[in-house]
Structure 1
Amino acid sequence: MIKVLDVNLYDTGLENAVAETIRDCHTGLPRQNHCVSATGAHGLVTAVKEPNFKTVLDSFHWNLPDGMPGVWIGRWKGARQMTRCYGPDFFKLVMSQSAQQPIRHFFCGGQPGVAEELKASVGAKFGNYQVAGTFCPPFREMSDDEFRDLAQTINNAGVNIVWIGLSTPKQERFARRLAQWVNVHFIVTVGAAFDFHTDRVVQAPSWMQRLSLEWFFRLMVEPKRLYKRYLEVVPLFIYLNLKEVFSPVKQSTQV
């Protein structure tokens, strides 16, 4: 792991993350409800602004570097094997590589009907028919009893991986609460992956993703929803990392 804005990011690459996830679903070890977040600049900046959200990310098994800015900072700090672990790509690779294996999935999130559409989509696109169920959370905050009922549904279906497709920081907080009652291997938050893989939202071209311009593409596609976020997040991410680099090292003093 490597720290970027004081949050530990996974630093050994997308392929390793996929392989470890699939492998751990087959081991005889107890299911540990490992929470995994695909964390980009938005999540990292939010963690600086909201200490309670940083506590959530600190409790996670992995925070995958969802965007290239986090990867660039991580590599600069010495994580040479670090690659982008883009949430939609991580989802796609796990779903395709586990398609013929006894690994059961559950989709939680999105607008009404999106999770069901995704269930059909992963069968058509990736040949994966191991989706045990779906759930669309209400817009309001769920009660503990509702989380217990959802967890019971998931547990009864023998699910290995719960995929959550909401938005940051809502999805990470949702995952942490669900982990109190569920009995699975992984709970993974993947943001817009649900919309991308149901073709509700167009993804940025690969060249724009490599150049870390996906935020600009998404801003052009969904300006009303995203302009406030990106006008704040991009400058803040740059500023906070520069501040970290150029801040003098604090010297400890004895009283």
Structure 2
Amino acid sequence: MLATGGTVARRLIHSSYRLACEGKTKEVPTPEEAGYAYNHVDRKKGMYKPQHSIAEQISYMKSKSYADAYKGLPIYRWYKRNIKGQSKLQPPPRLFCIDKHGRFNLNHACPVCRDEYLYFDYRNPSLLEQFLADGTDQPIDILKSGLCREQYTLLRAQLLKAKEHGTITFGVEFRNFDYRLYYKDWTAEPGKPVERAGIRLQDIHPDPLVHFPTFKNDKNNDWDEWWIRHDKFARKAK
């Protein structure tokens, strides 16, 4: 007897549910079973990333093997996404390269994830400075860096932490305050304005920077009464 459409559908649903349950109950292999993804390993998918201390990372970045691998350039300079087409047409960055268990979920990981010694930490500012725009304290674009979104978020977090701990230098905007506006008993005059070659900072960057004119309401006009002008413009179009 031939099976009806409903019977076939129920069998497919039951098989899909059984496979889904088997996937959920599947145990994660241990690092000894899956292995560690060292730098000499090409295919890292399913393997665990080794854990190293910050002292080992700093000594690794000063070693000859690091210099031979990156040739004195930022670590993202030699990285290229494994995609088809030009770099301007590349897809959005992946969410992460390493899952919650510490295993690689792909073979072609981002510049930081693929190296066993590298991870962002505020105690190693030399790695953070490689991802900063020239002459600024702001990170470069995520597509230019080649990082996954997880590592890019860690970069911004560790960069902020490095500024708070003083391990990285950055410029602070200078401003003179008139404390007489905040304290009634304050009588001292505010400091002299900052000048460079006779030009004051207030002249270059006035406060407020943008002047917003008074909003003008459209009243006593027919700008929204389109039916008054419809016949005139309709004749021109014909």
| Short-chain TM bin | under 0.3
Larger Rg, first or second structure (1 or 2): 2
| Higher helix content, 1 or 2 | 1
Given the two structures, how large is their TM-score scaled by the length of structure 1? 0.24
| Structure (1 or 2) with the greater strand fraction | 1
Q: Which has the higher contact order (CA 8 A, sep 6+)?
A: 1
